[in-house]
Structure 1
Amino acid sequence: MIQVIASCQNKIIKHCKSLQTKKYRDSTNEFLIEGIKLLKEAIESNVKLTALLYHNEAAKDRDVQSIIKMCMEKNIVIYELHEKPYMDISETKTPQGVIGIGKKIDYNVNKLLRSNRFNIIIMEQVQDPGNVGTIIRTADAFGFDMVFLSKGCADVYSGKVIRSTMGSIFHIPIITDVSLESLLKKFIDLEVYTIAATPHTGLSCYDIEYGDRNAIIIGNESKGLSSNIMDMVKIKANIPMVGMAESLNAGIAAAIMMYEATRYKLKHR
């Protein structure tokens, strides 16, 4: 049964508004998924949806009808919203008329790290949502196995990050609020080849000989990697540049590093 909501004071509208804050997302383990493509990706990736909300005018759209049908088949609670309550919770400039409430995915890190071969990308305090989303999307594109984010990174479950991943957030395990010191200590025992991306020092990224288990670490946009992390990695690597720019955007640097790791893997498989 579809419930109709006409008021912004409805409790589900207030719940959605609260989900726009990290604190509430963390306390409820839920997040918002807005847009046709992202919702389809979430449903097809078996993300658990607790509710679907759609604008009453959007019900005329075939894609929205398809999403409503899929949610009905899964017995997901569905709400039809009037203009004001829908616009009150929408976070996009050009709303597509459909929003889902999803449950965060809980990954078993120890199980993921048991694999004999993997490529991992790690972010230390990467704070720009666009950079975080781009790095996740690129990791997905280049077949990386996991993404780790330290405390202080942009929240992967914020609307901006989710939209910039273009659905990749649902394709690859993402572990957040990680203590990188503890993780790198574990990597020593697991014989993971840890590579710190640096602006100018270290080995050229084109000369790295990757192992079976690799972890590339990208630092904060302005400060780079912290000294304690730099002291714990096996090698430091840079991206050779011939122009006048002093450095690359964190998302671009991560993309080049990940591409090189994937290219090496394809060449030596």
Structure 2
Amino acid sequence: MLTNPRSDRVKAVRSLQKRSVRQRTGRFCVEGPQGVREAVRHAPARVRDVYLTPEAAARYADDIVAPARAERLWVHEVSPEVLAAMAESEAPQGVLAVVDDVPATLAQVLAGRPRLLVLLTHVRDPGNAGTVIRGADAAGADAVLVSDASVDVLSPKVVRSTAGSLFHLPVVTDLDVATTLASLREHGVRTLAADGAGPSDLTEVDLTAPHCWVMGNEAWGLPEETTALCDDVVRVPIHGHAESLNLAMAATICLYASAGVLRPGPTAR
């Protein structure tokens, strides 16, 4: 068992909270049982080490420890003090993993002939970014695209907010918005800017063709130069007295509207 919170190993794991260290090492941390479980299940080749307190090792023996050992991953028991020293969260729930970053590319995504995508432009809030990734996963999107001016999706807060969805679908980062929109158009993917003042209503827009929802910054939305590059500008109708919807909520509504068209459920009898 690892018991020294000042050891070099603990310091190395802790240093992954810094973006510069993540970029240099090509690794990042996943905190909490849900994220670690999904990493072990869906991306075991990327998992470098799994750390658990004795209590967590007993609690998650079947859904984390056993699958990790079956994949011949390094599983380490650590004291609660060591786990706390490694983690960014104040309540890491006794589980943490170090995972390799294997970046996806836009070319790879487009080669798969995607039908549903979402592009985050200048999104700065970690919780919003993580929630959109989770919502895109739930809606069956083919990938999430993230602009170069957005939050680092491998930061601890974003990773936690994805609740493991980060390991379920490609997330392409550091994209130039204008270049990305042009590439999508060249590959037959319509670009739909989500904007509360858009001329098209979500309930009326055609979602049958492959398309990408383009979401803007939490505070100022999408600039005119970006909406001008999109095929349509779509508003989510508000029927009550709410002034607006936050980014993550609007993105989820748009993605599920698309999912309802692209992946309709069984016909009722």
Matched residues in 2 for 1:191 and 1:129: separation? 30
Q: Which residue of 2 aligns with 1:105?
A: 102
> Structure 2 counterpart of 1:58, which letter?
A
Residue 197, structure 1, aligned to residue 194, structure 2: yes
TM-score normalised over the length of structure 1: 0.90
Q: Which residue of 1 aligns with 2:13?
A: 16
Matching residue within 78, 95, 113 for 1:81: 78
> Structure 2 counterpart of 1:33, which letter?
V
Change (3 A) 1:14 1:237: same
Listed as ranges, the gaps of 5+ residues in structure 1 are none
Residue 235, structure 1, aligned to residue 232, structure 2: yes
* TM-superposed deviation, 1:148: 0.3
Matched residues in 2 for 1:189 and 1:209: separation? 19
Name the Cα RMSD after superposition: 2.1
Q: Which residue of 1 aligns with 2:38?
A: 41
Change (3 A) 1:73 1:268: closer
What does 1:1-269 correspond to in 2, within 5 Å? Answer: 4-47=1-44, 48-59=46-57, 61-64=58-61, 67-267=64-264
Matched residues in 1 for 2:91 and 2:112: separation? 42
The number of equivalent residue pairs is: 265
Q: Which string of whole-angstrom CA distances, capped at 9 and with x for unpartnered residues, describes residues 137-185 of structure 1?
A: 1111111101001123222212222222221111111011111111111
Change (3 A) 1:11 1:145: same
Matched residues in 2 for 1:117 and 1:71: separation? 31
Q: Secondary structure at the match of 2:228?
A: helix
Q: Which string of whole-angstrom CA distances, capped at 9 and with x for unpartnered residues, describes residues 214-241 of structure 1?
A: 0110100111012221111011010111
The answer to which of 102-111 and 8-17 deviates more is 102-111
> Structure 1 counterpart of 2:33, which letter?
I
Q: Secondary structure at the match of 2:60?
A: helix
Matched residues in 1 for 2:128 and 2:80: separation? 32
Residue pair 1:117, 1:212 contacting (<8 A) in 2 also: no
Q: Which string of whole-angstrom CA distances, capped at 9 and with x for unpartnered residues, describes residues 232-269 of structure 1?
A: 10110101113333221001111111111112224599
Matched residues in 2 for 1:213 and 1:263: separation? 13
The answer to which of 87-96 and 15-24 deviates more is 87-96
Residue pair 1:133, 1:164 contacting (<8 A) in 2 also: yes
The answer to which of 108-117 and 207-216 deviates more is 108-117
> Structure 1 counterpart of 2:51, which letter?
L
Listed as ranges, the gaps of 5+ residues in structure 2 are none
- Give identity over the alignment, percent: 28
Residue pair 2:80, 2:94 contacting (<8 A) in 1 also: no
Residue pair 2:41, 2:67 contacting (<8 A) in 1 also: no
> Structure 1 counterpart of 2:217, which letter?
N
Residue pair 1:124, 1:153 contacting (<8 A) in 2 also: yes
TM-score normalised over the length of structure 2: 0.90
